[in-house]
Amino acid sequence: MYVVFGVTLNAVQVVLPIAVYIILSAISYMFLSRFYSNLEVRLKLNDELRHAEKLAAVGRFATSISHEVRNPLASLKGFTQLQHEKHPEDGEYYSIMINEIERISSLLDDLLVIGKPKGMNFELHDLNEVIDYVLKVMDSDAKNQGIQFIKETDTGLPMLECDAKHLKQVLINLIKNGMESMPLGGEVAIQAEVLDAETVKLTIKDGGQGISKENLAHLGTPFHTTKADGTGLGLMVSFKIIEEHNGAIDYESEEGKGTAVSVSLPVKQPKY
Protein backbone atom coordinates (compact mmCIF):
# COMPACT_ATOMS: atom_id res chain seq x y z
CA MET A 1 0.00 0.00 0.00
CA TYR A 2 2.88 2.27 0.91
CA VAL A 3 4.54 1.55 -2.46
CA VAL A 4 1.33 2.19 -4.41
CA PHE A 5 0.78 5.43 -2.52
CA GLY A 6 4.31 6.59 -3.24
CA VAL A 7 4.13 5.71 -6.93
CA THR A 8 0.77 7.41 -7.25
CA LEU A 9 2.13 10.63 -5.78
CA ASN A 10 5.36 10.18 -7.70
CA ALA A 11 7.16 10.92 -4.44
CA VAL A 12 10.87 10.29 -4.90
CA GLN A 13 11.43 10.23 -1.15
CA VAL A 14 9.12 7.20 -0.96
CA VAL A 15 10.01 5.25 -4.11
CA LEU A 16 13.80 5.65 -3.97
CA PRO A 17 14.35 4.00 -0.55
CA ILE A 18 12.07 1.15 -1.57
CA ALA A 19 13.98 0.62 -4.82
CA VAL A 20 17.30 0.70 -2.98
CA TYR A 21 15.95 -1.80 -0.43
CA ILE A 22 14.80 -4.18 -3.18
CA ILE A 23 18.14 -3.94 -5.00
CA LEU A 24 20.15 -4.54 -1.80
CA SER A 25 17.88 -7.48 -0.87
CA ALA A 26 18.42 -9.06 -4.29
CA ILE A 27 22.20 -8.60 -4.03
CA SER A 28 22.23 -10.05 -0.50
CA TYR A 29 20.19 -13.03 -1.66
CA MET A 30 22.61 -13.69 -4.52
CA PHE A 31 25.63 -13.52 -2.20
CA LEU A 32 23.98 -15.78 0.39
CA SER A 33 22.97 -18.30 -2.28
CA ARG A 34 26.50 -18.46 -3.62
CA PHE A 35 27.89 -18.73 -0.07
CA TYR A 36 25.65 -21.69 0.80
CA SER A 37 26.36 -23.30 -2.57
CA ASN A 38 30.13 -23.01 -2.00
CA LEU A 39 29.70 -24.30 1.55
CA GLU A 40 27.82 -27.39 0.32
CA VAL A 41 30.50 -28.08 -2.29
CA ARG A 42 33.26 -27.77 0.33
CA LEU A 43 31.43 -30.08 2.73
CA LYS A 44 30.88 -32.63 -0.04
CA LEU A 45 34.55 -32.50 -1.05
CA ASN A 46 35.53 -32.91 2.59
CA ASP A 47 33.30 -36.00 2.92
CA GLU A 48 34.75 -37.46 -0.28
CA LEU A 49 38.27 -36.84 1.02
CA ARG A 50 37.51 -38.64 4.28
CA HIS A 51 35.94 -41.50 2.30
CA ALA A 52 39.05 -41.72 0.10
CA GLU A 53 41.28 -41.79 3.19
CA LYS A 54 39.25 -44.67 4.62
CA LEU A 55 39.50 -46.57 1.35
CA ALA A 56 43.26 -46.03 1.36
CA ALA A 57 43.38 -47.40 4.91
CA VAL A 58 41.44 -50.47 3.75
CA GLY A 59 43.93 -50.94 0.92
CA ARG A 60 46.89 -50.77 3.30
CA PHE A 61 45.17 -53.20 5.67
CA ALA A 62 44.38 -55.65 2.87
CA THR A 63 47.92 -55.46 1.51
CA SER A 64 49.38 -56.23 4.93
CA ILE A 65 47.26 -59.36 5.50
CA SER A 66 46.94 -60.61 1.93
CA HIS A 67 50.19 -62.57 1.92
CA GLU A 68 49.56 -64.07 5.37
CA VAL A 69 46.07 -65.26 4.41
CA ARG A 70 46.79 -66.52 0.90
CA ASN A 71 49.38 -69.10 2.02
CA PRO A 72 47.07 -71.04 4.37
CA LEU A 73 44.25 -70.69 1.83
CA ALA A 74 46.41 -72.36 -0.80
CA SER A 75 47.11 -75.22 1.61
CA LEU A 76 43.42 -75.59 2.49
CA LYS A 77 42.47 -75.68 -1.18
CA GLY A 78 45.14 -78.31 -1.93
CA PHE A 79 44.09 -80.61 0.90
CA THR A 80 40.40 -80.16 0.02
CA GLN A 81 41.06 -81.16 -3.57
CA LEU A 82 43.02 -84.18 -2.31
CA GLN A 83 40.12 -85.27 -0.08
CA HIS A 84 37.77 -84.72 -3.00
CA GLU A 85 39.75 -87.24 -5.03
CA LYS A 86 39.75 -89.74 -2.15
CA HIS A 87 36.02 -89.37 -1.44
CA PRO A 88 34.28 -88.67 -4.75
CA GLU A 89 30.93 -89.69 -3.21
CA ASP A 90 30.97 -86.37 -1.30
CA GLY A 91 31.95 -84.40 -4.37
CA GLU A 92 29.09 -81.91 -4.04
CA TYR A 93 30.27 -80.74 -0.63
CA TYR A 94 33.95 -80.62 -1.56
CA SER A 95 33.06 -78.53 -4.61
CA ILE A 96 31.30 -76.03 -2.36
CA MET A 97 34.32 -75.93 -0.01
CA ILE A 98 36.70 -75.27 -2.91
CA ASN A 99 34.41 -72.56 -4.30
CA GLU A 100 34.23 -70.88 -0.92
CA ILE A 101 38.01 -70.94 -0.51
CA GLU A 102 38.26 -69.30 -3.91
CA ARG A 103 35.66 -66.74 -2.81
CA ILE A 104 37.80 -65.81 0.20
CA SER A 105 40.74 -65.33 -2.14
CA SER A 106 38.54 -63.20 -4.39
CA LEU A 107 37.47 -61.13 -1.38
CA LEU A 108 41.11 -60.31 -0.71
CA ASP A 109 41.41 -59.13 -4.30
CA ASP A 110 38.33 -56.94 -3.85
CA LEU A 111 39.77 -55.36 -0.74
CA LEU A 112 43.03 -54.62 -2.50
CA VAL A 113 41.29 -52.72 -5.27
CA ILE A 114 38.22 -51.46 -3.35
CA GLY A 115 39.04 -47.87 -4.19
CA LYS A 116 39.67 -48.58 -7.87
CA PRO A 117 37.46 -49.76 -10.72
CA LYS A 118 37.58 -53.55 -11.02
CA GLY A 119 36.66 -55.37 -14.19
CA MET A 120 33.80 -57.83 -13.83
CA ASN A 121 33.48 -61.06 -15.78
CA PHE A 122 29.95 -60.55 -17.12
CA GLU A 123 28.21 -63.62 -18.51
CA LEU A 124 24.59 -64.77 -18.81
CA HIS A 125 23.46 -66.69 -15.72
CA ASP A 126 20.25 -68.21 -14.41
CA LEU A 127 19.32 -66.12 -11.35
CA ASN A 128 17.50 -69.08 -9.78
CA GLU A 129 20.69 -71.14 -9.92
CA VAL A 130 22.67 -68.32 -8.30
CA ILE A 131 20.14 -68.07 -5.45
CA ASP A 132 19.96 -71.87 -4.99
CA TYR A 133 23.74 -72.08 -4.72
CA VAL A 134 23.84 -69.36 -2.05
CA LEU A 135 21.04 -70.98 -0.04
CA LYS A 136 22.86 -74.32 -0.16
CA VAL A 137 26.04 -72.68 1.13
CA MET A 138 24.12 -70.97 3.97
CA ASP A 139 21.85 -73.93 4.80
CA SER A 140 24.03 -75.47 7.52
CA ASP A 141 24.45 -72.18 9.43
CA ALA A 142 20.74 -71.45 9.06
CA LYS A 143 19.73 -74.79 10.59
CA ASN A 144 22.14 -74.27 13.49
CA GLN A 145 20.54 -70.88 14.21
CA GLY A 146 16.94 -72.03 13.79
CA ILE A 147 16.44 -69.97 10.64
CA GLN A 148 14.29 -70.98 7.70
CA PHE A 149 14.81 -69.68 4.16
CA ILE A 150 11.78 -68.78 2.06
CA LYS A 151 12.48 -68.42 -1.66
CA GLU A 152 9.99 -66.55 -3.82
CA THR A 153 10.80 -65.91 -7.48
CA ASP A 154 8.78 -64.76 -10.47
CA THR A 155 8.22 -67.32 -13.18
CA GLY A 156 10.06 -66.53 -16.37
CA LEU A 157 12.97 -64.67 -14.84
CA PRO A 158 15.27 -63.59 -17.68
CA MET A 159 18.86 -64.72 -17.93
CA LEU A 160 20.91 -62.12 -16.07
CA GLU A 161 24.17 -60.69 -17.39
CA CYS A 162 26.30 -60.59 -14.28
CA ASP A 163 29.47 -61.77 -12.57
CA ALA A 164 27.96 -64.76 -10.77
CA LYS A 165 30.86 -65.21 -8.38
CA HIS A 166 30.64 -61.65 -7.10
CA LEU A 167 26.84 -61.62 -7.06
CA LYS A 168 26.89 -64.74 -4.87
CA GLN A 169 29.25 -62.91 -2.54
CA VAL A 170 26.79 -60.02 -2.23
CA LEU A 171 23.85 -62.34 -1.50
CA ILE A 172 25.83 -64.27 1.09
CA ASN A 173 26.79 -61.03 2.85
CA LEU A 174 23.21 -59.71 2.87
CA ILE A 175 21.64 -63.01 3.98
CA LYS A 176 24.28 -63.44 6.67
CA ASN A 177 23.51 -59.95 8.01
CA GLY A 178 19.82 -60.86 8.14
CA MET A 179 20.55 -64.09 10.00
CA GLU A 180 22.77 -62.34 12.52
CA SER A 181 19.96 -59.90 13.30
CA MET A 182 17.80 -62.84 14.51
CA PRO A 183 19.69 -64.59 17.32
CA LEU A 184 16.51 -66.44 18.35
CA GLY A 185 15.82 -67.74 14.85
CA GLY A 186 13.11 -66.86 12.37
CA GLU A 187 12.61 -66.54 8.63
CA VAL A 188 14.67 -64.92 5.89
CA ALA A 189 12.81 -64.37 2.62
CA ILE A 190 14.71 -64.18 -0.66
CA GLN A 191 12.63 -62.75 -3.48
CA ALA A 192 13.42 -62.23 -7.16
CA GLU A 193 11.11 -60.30 -9.43
CA VAL A 194 11.02 -58.62 -12.81
CA LEU A 195 10.54 -54.88 -12.49
CA ASP A 196 10.45 -54.24 -16.22
CA ALA A 197 12.00 -55.53 -19.43
CA GLU A 198 15.39 -54.14 -18.41
CA THR A 199 15.54 -54.59 -14.63
CA VAL A 200 15.27 -57.34 -12.04
CA LYS A 201 15.11 -56.88 -8.29
CA LEU A 202 16.36 -59.13 -5.52
CA THR A 203 14.97 -58.56 -2.03
CA ILE A 204 16.21 -60.07 1.23
CA LYS A 205 13.80 -59.64 4.15
CA ASP A 206 14.36 -60.59 7.76
CA GLY A 207 12.32 -60.22 10.93
CA GLY A 208 15.28 -59.15 13.04
CA GLN A 209 16.17 -56.23 15.23
CA GLY A 210 16.10 -53.63 12.47
CA ILE A 211 18.48 -50.72 11.88
CA SER A 212 18.22 -47.23 13.32
CA LYS A 213 17.84 -44.24 10.96
CA GLU A 214 21.24 -42.98 12.08
CA ASN A 215 22.96 -46.23 11.09
CA LEU A 216 21.01 -46.51 7.83
CA ALA A 217 22.59 -43.27 6.64
CA HIS A 218 26.10 -44.73 7.07
CA LEU A 219 25.65 -48.21 5.61
CA GLY A 220 28.37 -49.10 3.12
CA THR A 221 30.96 -46.68 4.50
CA PRO A 222 34.33 -48.19 5.48
CA PHE A 223 34.57 -49.53 9.04
CA HIS A 224 31.00 -48.57 9.93
CA THR A 225 29.28 -51.52 11.58
CA THR A 226 26.63 -52.22 14.19
CA LYS A 227 28.21 -55.55 15.16
CA ALA A 228 30.47 -55.89 18.17
CA ASP A 229 33.02 -57.92 16.19
CA GLY A 230 32.30 -56.47 12.73
CA THR A 231 34.45 -54.36 10.43
CA GLY A 232 31.90 -53.03 7.92
CA LEU A 233 34.03 -54.32 5.05
CA GLY A 234 31.57 -56.96 3.83
CA LEU A 235 28.81 -54.45 3.16
CA MET A 236 31.25 -51.97 1.68
CA VAL A 237 32.46 -54.60 -0.80
CA SER A 238 28.83 -55.50 -1.59
CA PHE A 239 27.97 -51.90 -2.44
CA LYS A 240 31.05 -51.71 -4.66
CA ILE A 241 30.17 -54.93 -6.52
CA ILE A 242 26.59 -53.80 -7.20
CA GLU A 243 27.84 -50.40 -8.31
CA GLU A 244 30.10 -52.10 -10.85
CA HIS A 245 27.05 -54.07 -12.03
CA ASN A 246 25.38 -50.70 -12.71
CA GLY A 247 22.82 -51.56 -10.04
CA ALA A 248 21.73 -50.16 -6.69
CA ILE A 249 21.20 -51.34 -3.11
CA ASP A 250 18.37 -49.84 -1.05
CA TYR A 251 17.52 -50.43 2.59
CA GLU A 252 14.18 -50.20 4.37
CA SER A 253 14.24 -50.92 8.07
CA GLU A 254 12.33 -50.34 11.26
CA GLU A 255 13.80 -51.05 14.65
CA GLY A 256 12.23 -54.10 16.23
CA LYS A 257 10.46 -55.15 13.02
CA GLY A 258 13.19 -56.16 10.60
CA THR A 259 14.95 -55.06 7.44
CA ALA A 260 14.35 -55.38 3.71
CA VAL A 261 17.33 -55.00 1.37
CA SER A 262 16.58 -54.49 -2.32
CA VAL A 263 19.18 -55.06 -5.03
CA SER A 264 18.20 -53.70 -8.45
CA LEU A 265 20.18 -54.99 -11.43
CA PRO A 266 20.04 -54.42 -15.18
CA VAL A 267 19.20 -57.55 -17.16
CA LYS A 268 21.82 -56.57 -19.73
CA GLN A 269 24.96 -54.62 -18.96
CA PRO A 270 25.30 -51.36 -20.90
CA LYS A 271 27.84 -51.37 -23.72
CA TYR A 272 30.25 -48.47 -23.62
Residues 260 and 132 in one domain: yes
Residues 254 and 127 in one domain: yes
Strands 123-125 and 160-162: antiparallel
- Burial of residue 161 (CB within 10 Å: 0-12, 13-18, 19+) is middle
Q: How many alpha carbons fall within 13 Å on the CB side of residue 144?
A: 6
Q: What is the pLDDT of residue 206?
A: 93
Residues 163 and 178 in one domain: yes
- Give the residue from 116, 150, 184 where a domain finishes: 116
Q: Indicate whether 271 belongs to any domain.
A: no
Domain holding 147, by residue range, is 123-266
Residues 3 and 109 in one domain: yes
Residues 148 and 215 in one domain: yes
Q: Indicate whether 100 belongs to any domain.
A: yes
Q: Indicate whether 272 belongs to any domain.
A: no
Does 6 score more than 90 pLDDT?
Answer: no
Q: Indicate whether 10 belongs to any domain.
A: yes
Of 224 and 30, the one with more pLDDT: 30
Identify the CATH number of the domain in which residue 62 sits: 1.10.287
Q: Indicate whether 67 belongs to any domain.
A: yes
Cβ within 8 Å of residue 1, ≥6 positions away: none
Query: How many domains, the chain?
Result: 2
146 pLDDT band, cuts 50/70/90, is very high
Residues 5 and 83 in one domain: yes
Q: What is the pLDDT of residue 131?
A: 96
Residues 183-214: pLDDT tens digits?
Answer: 889 999 999 999 888 999 999 999 988 888 88
Residues 156 and 205 in one domain: yes
Residues 143 and 232 in one domain: yes
Residues 105 and 132 in one domain: no
Does 110 score more than 80 pLDDT?
Answer: no
Residues 93 and 171 in one domain: no
- Give the residue from 67, 85, 116 where a domain finishes: 116
Residues 168 and 39 in one domain: no
Q: Indicate whether 171 belongs to any domain.
A: yes
Q: What is the pLDDT of residue 15?
A: 64
Q: What is the pLDDT of residue 191?
A: 95
Residues 235 and 142 in one domain: yes
Nearest CA among 172, 168, 187, 170 for reference residue 128: 168
- Give the residue from 60, 90, 116 where a domain finishes: 116
Q: What is the pLDDT of residue 148?
A: 94
Edge to edge, what strands does the sheet with 199-206 contain? 147-153, 186-196, 199-206, 258-266, 248-254
Q: What is the mean pLDDT of residues 60-80?
A: 76
